[in-house]
Structure 1
């Protein structure tokens, strides 16, 4: 069943179950079991062994030894939970919220905080997702902005900004991939960095998604399931659906905030996390580069997960020391550590199962099947970017990985364009990048989506479902943009059309909401 249409079954089944049951662990587990059975022709014992091996490989494999990258990321999540717990116990979060409510005068301003931070922190999507949530949450909480909406702001800025920024972990990876593709196809018209820069305005979805974020923040556009979450938050002050149990990143009431907490008890640990992570990224990137290292090679070779771990460890140490020097702490250290760890367990459970189903889907070669469909399809070459945007979007949705989609689809996009029309090489690859981010925004098994809900302290499935309408609006505008590009071949026309479509849809939604309120 590998590499055939049947390889889509586990991914589609998982997505359907998520929508019907809203139980992410059940849905992921079902997809894993069905995928394992398909891999082994429904041999139960072999399938059980497959599931066990996939789980163990997350931590250790016979061929490669310990899976250090995965362990670093899981450890970072625990460290982040502990840091958050100390910032709460020290009174830093409360003090920062009190300060922010004096400086940020409106609910609109509170929603703009994570929107701008999401654009400014462009180094890495993981780092963006988690750090923006930690800084913005005290502000948005005070103005009763639902956690689902905060997660949307985080998720819909993190990947879009990193995918169009050369100086980021994504940008460096993409530039390196482009270089290998150019060599393989004998493309000499562009250098990899030059090509990446020229592809930026062709990534219509990234600009559409970020523009929509600001419309939503400024005009408080709440559609679909988001309306329910925002109404509950404003009317009752409940920022999450408490009936759904614990959410990742959310602390219980076992921690009491120190009465004499100061803003520094939040800003210093967060600053340590930011500076420590960035410095570690530069150091690990430099160590992994050759002697003539440049800023691009540094970010291409940086060890993101190790850097996050280093930054997280330093943040915990500093947060602990700040708490030690406070007089008469209300919560003992053991409780703070345990509550911080406990708060991150839901995210870790989801992330592990997401990695497992991603491995199963990879073994079934779902991505390879979709790529083969594109290669064999007889399509009008002018509409190649539009087709690639849609296929990459579905592939990223089904597999939960933007980077995996990049790796599969970028070479195929270039090969098709070289054979059909070499002038479409850059638009075709840019459309793959755009589609990959779109699919990533819709996928419940995407790392970035999981970490965005974690950073916001939102229920994961609530985040996925509330973000879907906004992602589809951006995708619709992007599709129109690529259709116009197919007609005109001119990005100067197509990109503004995409953004105008977003503005028109946002204006219509604002009018509809205003009429309902009247």
Structure 2
């Protein structure tokens, strides 16, 4: 059943169950069991052994610790503790009070979050977990739902990282592009030159950023997001009562001495320390001197996030001492803050562990390989190739929950197809792979960046998936029109113009009812 059409059933079963039942852990568990049974041809004992191995592989690898996953889990817990202590110290409230005096409108709060997400382009994990924490006080003050916050965070994480050469994504993609260029003996440009030329061709990035900006400016929502935003505006509850699965760090005791520095300094330290450790681990990984991009390519991002998180956590504890000395908080608050911070992130960590497990099994099942072979063996007009590649990359990323895995599968295949049909389309097709993979990753309930964007925004995972899905599909339709135009005209810039026109049409199509307009002012 591996690498056949049957390999689609387990991931689709898990995804459909997640969307229908909203019970993420059970749905992922069913997907894991189904994947194992399909791989072992329904041998129960072998399936149990395979599932145990996949789960163990989340923590152990090649006889040692799986440091990537373990460091990411520790970083999530550290960020939960930092967030809880910032709330205890009153930093969240002080920052919200300061920003509310400067950001006067809901549109301003959303645009501020968009700009912050674009600025933190170094790594999507760092972006997803940090932007929501920083922006949440101001978005809460303006009654912006947590679902909307998670959507903005997710739409400015991977889409920005995928076009930033100096980022963990950029370094990884450059390595794959270099392999494709070498395989087909293309010497007209370097991998960096090819990457830069592909930036305007990544239509989904521009469509996704454009859609989130249009939604923020027009202050109009559709689909499930409209319900969440209406509830937040009417009641002030930024999460529906039945969706609150995380502990809200702002709901406990708060020091009256809280200042903005209690939030700003730990976040700044986190950013600077993480960047510093990324550079340090990158230099350590190089055998000889290299450029900034090669340093990022060799960096251990998960280790850097963990070390940077520890430095920020120690800084937070030092700030906490001021509140203890002033008798605003006590040792009991200290241990309670650590415990509540860990508890607040437990649901996300459990989902992430199961998502990693099912991703491993889906990889063994060969779902992505099967879909990639479908693309490779298709006999279609070369004018449709960028569009087809975009759609297939989206399906692979959606089914497997990983954009990086989709890059690794489809970039070489896209290169082979271009070499066999129309070599001038090689860069647009490579760009279509990147765009489609980010689109599929955005829509997938089992994607780690989807999970972490919801976590950083303190939003229910399925609320984030269901509310973001219509916006991602709209962006994909606009991007798809761009790729069809590119294929038939051969012009990247005409395709980009079509994307812009699509965003303009969306802008003027969205119209807020008068009653809703008055309500949001």
Residue 206 (1) aligns with residue 209 (2) = no
Distance 1:285 1:128 in 2: 19
Greater CA drift, 423-432 or 212-221? 212-221
Distance 2:93 2:30 in 1: 41
Greater CA drift, 362-371 or 215-224? 215-224
Alignment coverage as a number of residue pairs:
514
Other-structure match for 2:387: 386
Distance 2:514 2:177 in 1: 47
Distance 2:366 2:303 in 1: 29
Check conservation: 2:418, 2:425, Cα contact below 8 A: yes
2:221 is paired with a residue of what secondary structure? coil
Other-structure match for 1:26: 26
Distance 2:65 2:352 in 1: 18
Structure 2, unmatched stretches of 5+, are none
> Residues 342-421 of structure 1 correspond to what in structure 2 (within 5 A)?
342-421=343-422
Residue 322 (1) aligns with residue 319 (2) = yes
> Residues 179-328 of structure 1 correspond to what in structure 2 (within 5 A)?
179-247=178-246, 250-251=248-249, 253=251, 255-326=252-323, 327-328=326-327
Distance 2:504 2:491 in 1: 20
Distance 1:100 1:365 in 2: 49
Distance 2:59 2:19 in 1: 30
Q: CA deviation at 1:102?
A: 0.8
TM-score by length of 2: 0.97
Q: CA deviation at 1:515?
A: 9.0
Residue 38 (1) aligns with residue 35 (2) = no
TM-score by length of 1: 0.97
Greater CA drift, 43-52 or 144-153? 43-52
Are the structure 2 counterparts of residues 19 and 138 from structure 1 closer, same or farther at C-alpha, using a change threshold of 3 Å? same
Other-structure match for 2:173: 174
Structure 1 ranges of 4+ moved more than 6 A = 515-518
Other-structure match for 2:68: 69
Greater CA drift, 302-311 or 283-292? 283-292
User: Deviations along 1:269-301, whole A, 9 cap, x unmatched?
Assistant: 111111111111111111112322111101111
User: Deviations along 1:319-362, whole A, 9 cap, x unmatched?
Assistant: 11111122113352110000000000011011001001101100
Q: CA deviation at 1:22?
A: 1.3
2:174 is paired with a residue of what secondary structure? helix
Check conservation: 2:281, 2:298, Cα contact below 8 A: yes
Other-structure match for 2:131: 132
Distance 2:290 2:50 in 1: 42
CA RMSD of aligned residues (A): 1.4
Check conservation: 2:124, 2:158, Cα contact below 8 A: yes
Other-structure match for 1:14: 14
User: Deviations along 1:149-172, whole A, 9 cap, x unmatched?
Assistant: 000000011111110111111111
Distance 1:311 1:221 in 2: 38
Check conservation: 2:33, 2:51, Cα contact below 8 A: yes
Distance 1:195 1:185 in 2: 14
